[in-house]
């Protein structure tokens, strides 16, 4: 049996950037400015520059990054926020934490991102029922590629809704050369270690173009602070990004553009090598994915996973149970007609090893294992 390759190899990246990261961390330790030190503001500037728009506000984690704009907008009890069910818990969790109601929307069968038609139907249904007030849409840029914002944004605008790009897995992705902030009111980022731009602990950020929103979010980030210390303008959070994490992320951001292309190289080789053995990812026209995950579809998933394991290829399933089928979320509304595409995909998707430091030998091992599958 071949040796098991790495699903995500953070150690290899660490070796490439070791000197740069070590120097950055030691600088923070020597200076002792651990909370909102200069590296934090520098990172925020660099994040906005890399995205090509807006201002960035760092925070403690990617979950808070989504919650902060909801709180800044005053979204709460009696409000509806439209979210996909095929995503990590944070997307819907923050809606409930804000006191509002998530409304689950179906996905596109090829990109796994929010389906515009299902969104429009969900908004119309909630509006007609009159029990909740539609306030916002959170579209997830799943597996590294942007959602169909040219289709989603007009639907949100027509209904008077705020639009959030949950870009936790896809910071650095573009659509027609632009970050999703070109269409969204806010773009949220996670720096969880396994993300394409990951730190060595939790961290997050939210980007926006509205100065008023930025000021409100900055207040929310630090206990709702007002214009003076120990003066509070609103209910807030304790959600500051550590200076050490900011220093690490600055080092990683310096090579992030190159790493996106390194991931693209792996994705291109996979697509060419797999043939018709599995359903390979479909990237929306005009998009650059960050390839947070390389997610395929296959029948007989359990058998396929066992086959790959025998060939030394690890796999992961994102996400085996859609959110609307979990007990804490089962009472919340879903789009008219239910979520059939979401529920079908959850039984067939499978993610393969993907990281910028994959060797040719590892890529070859994955290709041989997948191509050798007899469905």
What's residue 2's pLDDT?
Answer: 83
Pairing of strands 101-105, 79-84: parallel
* DSSP state letters, 237-263: -B-PPBHHHHHHHHHHHTTHHHHHHHH
Tell me, yes or no, whether 281 lies in a domain. Answer: yes
Closest by CA to 257, choosing from 179, 326, 318, 143, is: 179
pTM: 0.97
Say how many residues make up the chain: 375
Tell me, yes or no, whether 3 lies in a domain. Answer: no
Compute the radius of gyration of the chain from its Cα atoms: 21
Q: How far is CA 49 from CA 42, 53, 54, 216, 253, in A?
A: 11, 7, 8, 21, 11
**What b-and-e string marks burial along 284-300, b requiring 16 or more CB atoms within 10 Å of the CB?**
beebbbbbbbbbbbbee
What's residue 374's pLDDT?
Answer: 80
Domain final position from 253, 276, 294:
253
Angle (CA) 123 127 131, round 5°: 120
Asked if 154 and 214 sit in the same domain, the reply is yes
What's residue 273's pLDDT?
Answer: 96
Q: What is the pLDDT along the chain (375 residues), one digit of tens a residue?
A: 688 999 999 999 999 999 999 999 999 999 999 999 999 999 999 999 999 999 999 999 999 999 999 999 999 999 999 999 999 999 999 999 999 999 999 999 999 999 999 999 999 999 999 999 999 999 999 999 999 999 999 999 999 999 999 999 999 999 999 999 999 999 999 999 999 999 999 999 999 999 999 999 999 999 999 998 899 999 999 999 999 999 999 999 999 999 999 999 999 999 999 988 999 999 999 999 999 999 999 999 999 999 999 999 999 999 999 999 999 999 999 999 999 999 999 999 999 999 999 999 999 999 999 999 986
| Domain CATH number, residue 305 | 3.90.1150.10
Asked if 106 and 231 sit in the same domain, the reply is yes
């Amino acid at each position: 049996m071949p040796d098991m390759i790495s699903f995500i190899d953070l150690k290899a990246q660490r070796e490439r950037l070791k000197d740069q990261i070590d120097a950055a961390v030691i600088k923070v330790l020597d200076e002792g400015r651990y909370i909102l030190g200069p590296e934090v503001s520098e990172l925020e500037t660099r994040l906005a520059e890399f995205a090509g728009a807006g201002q960035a506000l760092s925070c403690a984690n990617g979950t808070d990054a989504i919650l902060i704009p909801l709180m800044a907008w005053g979204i709460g009890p009696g409000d509806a926020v439209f979210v996909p069910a095929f995503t990590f818990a944070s997307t819907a969790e923050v809606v409930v934490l804000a006191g509002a109601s998530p409304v689950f929307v179906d996905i596109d069968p090829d990109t796994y991102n929010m389906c515009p038609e299902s969104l429009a139907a969900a908004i119309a249904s909630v509006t007609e029922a009159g029990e909740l007030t539609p306030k916002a849409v959170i579209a997830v840029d799943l597996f590294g590629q942007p959602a169909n914002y040219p289709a989603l944004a007009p639907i949100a605008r027509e209904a008077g809704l705020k639009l959030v790009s949950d870009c936790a897995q896809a910071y650095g992705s573009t659509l027609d050369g632009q970050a999703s902030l070109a269409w969204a009111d806010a773009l949220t980022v996670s720096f969880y270690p396994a993300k394409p731009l990951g730190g060595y602990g939790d961290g997050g950020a939210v980007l926006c173009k509205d100065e008023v929103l930025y000021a409100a979010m900055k207040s929310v980030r630090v206990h709702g602070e007002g214009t003076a210390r120990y003066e509070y303008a609103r209910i807030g959070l304790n959600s500051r990004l550590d200076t050490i994490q900011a220093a690490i992320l600055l080092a990683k951001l310096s090579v992030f553009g190159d790493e996106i292309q390194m991931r693209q190289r792996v994705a291109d080789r996979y697509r060419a090598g797999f043939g018709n053995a599995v359903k390979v990812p479909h990237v929306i026209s005009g998009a650059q994915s960050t390839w947070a995950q390389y997610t395929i579809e296959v029948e007989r998933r359990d058998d396929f996973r066992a086959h790959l394991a025998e060939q030394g290829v690890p796999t992961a399933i994102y996400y085996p149970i859609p959110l609307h089928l979990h007990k804490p979320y089962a009472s919340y509304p879903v789009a008219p007609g239910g979520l059939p595409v979401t529920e079908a995909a959850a039984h067939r998707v499978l993610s393969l090893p993907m990281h910028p430091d994959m060797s040719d030998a590892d890529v070859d091992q994955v290709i041989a294992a997948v191509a050798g599958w007899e469905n």
